[in-house]
Amino acid sequence: MSGYLGGYATLGLLLLVGAGVFVAAFTAARLLGPRRSADSGATAAKFDTYECGLDPVGGDWAQAQIRYYVYAFLYALFAVESVFLFPWAVIFDRPEFGAAAVVEMAIFVAVLGLGILYAWRKRILRWT
């Protein structure tokens, strides 16, 4: 398909195929999936969320500790910021990037260092 509308035709065909797969999957799930019928003689426990044989105990709300989120946030922060080091390392030896590039990267690494030092001093990184 070429021409001005060729891209739109390709997109439309892709959307139709995607919708067809979606409809086919849900139709197959409806036809092949188990049925819940009240006259099958099953007990009420059969229709529980989990069929492990144990009654659910307690509430459905659990509190997660904030330290897990802090570790995940710090990891994501430093992982994303460390990605900025790679392009700099690729162009570091080019002649047009001189001492200014080194100073800029030193400032960037210093900011990262200050961030990790702050987390260390606040004892955020201490696992209890």
List pLDDT tens digits, range 1-46.
567 777 788 899 999 999 999 999 999 999 998 776 555 555 665 5
- HEC-encoded secondary structure of the chain: CCCCCHHHHHHHHHHHHHHHHHHHHHHHHHHHCCCCCHHHCCCHHHHCCCCCCCCCCCCCCCCCCHHHHHHHHHHHHHHHHHHCHHHHHHHCCCCCCCHHHHHHHHHHHHHHHHHHHHHHHCCCCCCC
The pLDDT value recorded for residue 28 is 96
What CA–CA distance (Å, rounded) separates 34 from 50?
15
pTM > 0.75: yes or no: no
With 90 as the cut, is the pLDDT of residue 103 above it? no
The pLDDT value recorded for residue 80 is 83
Report, as an integer, the average pLDDT of 91-101.
77
Whole-number percent of the chain with pLDDT over 70 = 80
pLDDT 10s digits, 69-78: 888 888 888 8
User: Residue 49: pLDDT band by 50, 70, 90 thresholds?
Assistant: low
With 90 as the cut, is the pLDDT of residue 50 above it? no
CB 112 within 8 A of CB 78: yes
Higher pLDDT, 62 or 73: 73
